[in-house]
Structure 1
Amino acid sequence: MTAADEHADEHADEHADEHADEHVDEHVDVLIVGAGLSGVGAAHHIQSAFPGRTYTILEARDTIGGTWDLFRYPGVRSDSDMHTLGYRFRPWRQAKAIADGPAILDYIRDTAAEAGIDRYVRFGHRVTRAEWSTRDARWTVDAVRDGRPLRLTGRFLYVCTGYYHYDAGHTPDFPGIERFGGTVVHPQQWPADLDHTGKKVVVIGSGATAVTLVPALAESAAHVTMLQRSPTYIASRPAEDRLANRLRDLLGARRSYPVIRWKNVTLGTLLYRLSRRRPEVVKSLLRKAAIRQLPPGYDVGTHFSPRYQPWDQRLCLAPDGDLFTAIRHGSASVVTDRIAEFTPTGLLLESGTALDADLVVTATGLRLLALGGMRLAVDGREVALPETMTYKGMMLEGVPNFAFTVGYTNASWTLKADLVAEHVVRLLRRLDARGYDQCVPANDDAGVTLRPLLDFDSGYVLRSVHEFPKSGSRAPWRLGMNYAQDLLTLRFGRVDGGAMRFSRRPGPV
């Protein structure tokens, strides 16, 4: 043992002694943070694999659903098909594959209720800090509920909080916004009583949220303008998957679901690979599709021809071409320009054009937040996330008995979430089978270099990715975006050996 190791053990013992007599409100085998799509799925995998193992889900908000309960703006829906966004273990049974937010929320809550997972959710528990003790082989998690501090302990900590800030989205500092006489709202804080009927609406942005909002608002607004600084790639796709519906009728939901899931995974992967290898081909296909759906002579070059390559940012989805339909019918329009300032009656653009508005929607992006804002420590030492590498895109270098979920940027989030949960189950089984107390990724590869966790050019990523853990330059430290490869690694690859270390806690001195 080195002098540094001896010092670490002494420090860990001192820190453990400090908290030995502090009150613990609950102890479980697995602590899950977050009761959204990922957290409910994680609980289902843990509960199914280990019926006798105890777990608790800590949820900062007052309900199950995460993103799909938080976002309540008009038209909110998935931008992935539900045969891949749905859980592997629970088939999606509705006709619409591109589902609306309320339907997805019902799906998550029904999954939790049917499995009894909802009984293990502790609502209103915001986790602030978690510390691992090697001597005790457990996590101590500090949370706050109604202003009162709580402390829980667990053998394994599993964070399913997503990667963005639930309290507020991103809104730039627009000059003169205080002079505007109408209403300004960010989609993440959409008021339940906001009525846009008969109003002139300007939606600032061109990402997935704006592409969703514009056709939904156009159904009853006087007119909706999508104001974008630069265009985004938008692809039309049928809201209903006819082949999926036919197979479900013929084979039943459970037998047809894996077939449909793999069909959609394969098509999505092929499109992504073609976009990366032959971007000009995909750009041409998307441009031609837009021309077919827009009015004759429409300026596609200005409004629907992005400067970046397909999948440098996430491809936006227009189910049944609803955005193009709204433009074709005249209930919506697109303006590509920059905002000079807000005026009392709307917005003045840098080109000199004035846009009148009663309602302005700032669909200007999300704010990222690593691990739900919680701080981590190991044996009294704070974990500096930006200096820490991720292992297999789901664990952290030097942090024992810990996992987190970050989904794909080029495919459905749940594809990765399911694989992470399966791998956590495999790790827990190995701990039990060999009598180990902890598993921890350790980097012995001096040649691996640090890279951003999310290699994506979207504004919301670029603004905050420096606050996140890093990816490595090669496996197993690289965060992959390939479902088939991750399936082989996480579902079938070895859980021991390589960079993963298993050990027992130190015995009494």
Structure 2
Amino acid sequence: MAPPPLDVDVLVVGAGISGIDLACRLAMHCPELTWAVLEARSATGGTWDLFRYPGIRSDSDMYTLGFPFRPWRGRTSIAPAEEILRYVRETADEHGVTERTHLGQRVTRLAWSSEERRWTVTARTESGEVLEHRARFVHVATGYYAYESGHVVDFPGQEAFDGEVVHPQHWPEDLEVAGRRFVVIGSGATAITLVPALVDAGAAHVTMLQRSPSYVAALPNRDLVADGLRRVLPGRAAHSLVRAKNVALSTVSYRALRRWPEGGRRLLRRRLAERLPEGYPVDTHFNPRYDPWDQRVCVAPDGDLLDVLADGSASVVTATVEGFEPSGVRVSGGEVLPADVVVTATGLRLEVGGGAEVVVDGSLVDLAATHVYKGCMLSGVPNLALSVGYTNASWTLRADLTARWVCHLLRHLDRRGLSVATPRWDGSGGEDRPLLDLTSGYVRRGEHLLPRQGSRRPWRVVQSYAYDLAVTRFGRLDDGVLELR
């Protein structure tokens, strides 16, 4: 029997970190509103429940990736997925989010009616039943990559390979690791996480095969300042101070690397060379063609990747894939890298809103033709917000600011007897730019699917937590751009 349709003030789509954050904020700041969460999968947690490959962990510190209203009490700063998932679910339980979350409902269509001032949200259950929910306001917290599949490359001769080929997004639970040779194709955060984890799981040897290098920074996995503060301060106070410290440090380092890229390049190279054996070809395997933060800098907690490279249990090959052979992968130059398992860590596939179509008054909205207002609403689309994280810092930093701003907007509307908020793009936002300011392969492949940003505020998506915090706390809602009626 199908569950009953919902009719609420706010409907949150997605039960990962962003969706749970928004729902918690609604519970704390808008107790008079009715709300619910829809989740396409059969479990909450988003990314941290979906990905199951060995070593899956955060690539940001948990004091900024965690929620500001619930202290992170884990021992490590770069945490494994199972600890993050437990933390997220416990937070949802504490704020009454779990009981208002409806699992196994994939949103396929969002239709706005100006006459009714309501969204009709069509969702399909796992058993194929179609439900039509209604809401005054919708918050899309699905991120911007596809959960169904990652980016898959059809390598020549792959069918001739005698071993197994797996993608990290769909890691087999029963995959045997011990005693087997692995080739991991890729050089991003997933590959850099997988290589040391496979070694720790007993792989005979792991080769990271990369077409081009990435920047890698070895960072300590324990925050000694956090450990000290937690011994003398209440948990909430210690968490806030460490969070502020980490935001400040990451902001300063990001701006320094962007302003002085050559100096940053030399610094990153020197620190790698200090951790690797003398004579290691650092310039071959860790000297990208692009500047730091043109793509995200990958984190190796406690230098785990560098340790397995130094002791020979793993290696890096920088070359292009020419094709598969029965015994492994053939690379440019003709060498065959022997493998029992090939992991294609070839990246993500971008998708907006989980693939749901958006319709306003009967007209299908081309999301790629819209512009993002204040990093969280779309031009011409009423009463809809979305979570877009930072490219240079933890996702949750902006997701939480967006959640707080949405609550502020909803309270503002209700206090003034208003019901509809619509950003209006009139061209004054300046030059069109891609939403994400990265040159990563997954971004370039899918940027045509994403909304755009302008070159001037409030249409510019600023990569600055300090700026967004000021806008969230002190910015005007009646700014002449956001139409309130």
Q: Same fold (TM over 0.5)?
A: yes
Aligned counterparts, 1:215-294, within 5 A: 215-219=196-200, 220-294=202-276
1:498 aligns with 2:483: no
**Paired position in structure 2 for 1:13:** none
Secondary structure of 2:138's partner?
A: strand
Q: Quick one: which amino acid aligns to residue 393 of structure 2?
A: A
**Paired position in structure 1 for 2:179:** 198
Q: Is contact 2:429-2:458 (8 Å) kept?
A: no
**Paired position in structure 2 for 1:77:** 57
**Paired position in structure 2 for 1:27:** 7
Q: Structure 1 residues 361, 447: CA separation in 2 closer, same or farther (over 3 Å shift)? A: closer
Q: d(CA) in 2 for partners of 1:256 and 1:407? A: 24
1:122 aligns with 2:102: yes
**Paired position in structure 2 for 1:152:** 133
Secondary structure of 1:424's partner?
A: helix
Q: Give 1:258 shift.
A: 1.2
Secondary structure of 1:73's partner?
A: coil
TM-score (norm 1): 0.93
> What do you get for the CA RMSD once the two structures are aligned?
1.1
Of 312, 315, 318, which residue of structure 2 is paired with 1:330? 312
Question: How many residues end up aligned between the 2 structures?
Answer: 481
Q: d(CA) in 2 for partners of 1:488 and 1:444? A: 25
Of 274, 294, 308, which residue of structure 2 is paired with 1:312? 294
Which deviates more, 341-350 or 437-446? 437-446
Q: Give 1:446 shift.
A: 4.0
Secondary structure of 1:276's partner?
A: helix
Write out per-residue CA displacement over residues 397-436 of structure 1, whole angstroms, 9 at most, x where no aligned residue. Answer: 1111110001001000000000000000110011111000
Q: Quick one: which amino acid aligns to residue 415 of structure 1?
A: L
Q: Quick one: which amino acid aligns to residue 468 of structure 2?
A: D
Q: d(CA) in 1 for partners of 2:445 and 2:453? A: 17
1:185 aligns with 2:166: yes
Secondary structure of 1:128's partner?
A: strand
Q: Is contact 1:75-1:212 (8 Å) kept?
A: yes
Q: d(CA) in 2 for partners of 1:413 and 1:274? A: 21
Q: Unaligned 5+ residue runs, structure 1?
A: 1-22, 504-509
Which deviates more, 45-54 or 79-88? 45-54
Write out per-residue CA displacement over residues 198-222 of structure 1, whole angstroms, 9 at most, x where no aligned residue. Answer: 0011000010000000000012100
Of 458, 463, 467, which residue of structure 2 is paired with 1:476? 458
**Paired position in structure 1 for 2:193:** 212
Q: d(CA) in 2 for partners of 1:227 and 1:447? A: 42
**Paired position in structure 2 for 1:367:** 349
Secondary structure of 1:156's partner?
A: strand
Q: d(CA) in 1 for partners of 2:72 and 2:412? A: 32
Q: d(CA) in 2 for partners of 1:24 and 1:203? A: 46
**Paired position in structure 2 for 1:383:** 365
Which deviates more, 440-449 or 264-273? 440-449
Q: Is contact 2:391-2:437 (8 Å) kept?
A: no
Q: Is contact 1:426-1:495 (8 Å) kept?
A: no
Q: d(CA) in 1 for partners of 2:304 and 2:61? A: 16
Q: Give 1:491 shift.
A: 2.5
Secondary structure of 1:209's partner?
A: helix
Which deviates more, 47-56 or 190-199? 47-56
Q: Is contact 1:58-1:126 (8 Å) kept?
A: yes
Q: d(CA) in 2 for partners of 1:473 and 1:157? A: 27
Q: d(CA) in 2 for partners of 1:201 and 1:79? A: 23
Aligned counterparts, 1:408-419, within 5 A: 408-419=390-401
Q: Give 1:439 shift.
A: 0.8
Q: d(CA) in 2 for partners of 1:414 and 1:330? A: 37
Q: Unaligned 5+ residue runs, structure 2?
A: none
Q: Give 1:94 shift.
A: 1.2
Larger Rg: 1
Q: d(CA) in 2 for partners of 1:109 and 1:259? A: 24
Q: Quick one: which amino acid aligns to residue 409 of structure 2?
A: L
Secondary structure of 1:297's partner?
A: coil
Q: d(CA) in 1 for partners of 2:260 and 2:214? A: 18
**Paired position in structure 1 for 2:388:** 406
Q: Quick one: which amino acid aligns to residue 340 of structure 2?
A: D
Of 25, 30, 46, which residue of structure 2 is paired with 1:45? 25
Write out per-residue CA displacement over residues 95-127 of structure 1, whole angstroms, 9 at most, x where no aligned residue. Answer: 101100000000100001111210011111000
1:169 aligns with 2:150: yes
Q: Quick one: which amino acid aligns to residue 162 of structure 1?
A: G
Q: d(CA) in 2 for partners of 1:446 and 1:295? A: 55
Q: Structure 1 residues 265, 446: CA separation in 2 closer, same or farther (over 3 Å shift)? A: closer
Q: d(CA) in 1 for partners of 2:423 and 2:4? A: 28
Q: Quick one: which amino acid aligns to residue 82 of structure 1?
A: M
Q: d(CA) in 2 for partners of 1:361 and 1:470? A: 33
**Paired position in structure 1 for 2:44:** 64
Write out per-residue CA displacement over residues 444-467 of structure 1, whole angstroms, 9 at most, x where no aligned residue. Answer: 344623211112100000001101
Q: Is contact 1:395-1:441 (8 Å) kept?
A: yes
**Paired position in structure 2 for 1:11:** none
Q: Percent identity?
A: 54
Q: Give 1:387 shift.
A: 1.0
1:135 aligns with 2:115: yes
Q: d(CA) in 2 for partners of 1:149 and 1:103? A: 35
Of 414, 422, 425, which residue of structure 1 is paired with 2:404? 422
Which deviates more, 419-428 or 377-386? 377-386
Q: Is contact 1:24-1:153 (8 Å) kept?
A: no
Q: Quick one: which amino acid aligns to residue 396 of structure 2?
A: T
**Paired position in structure 2 for 1:296:** 278
Q: Is contact 2:10-2:34 (8 Å) kept?
A: yes
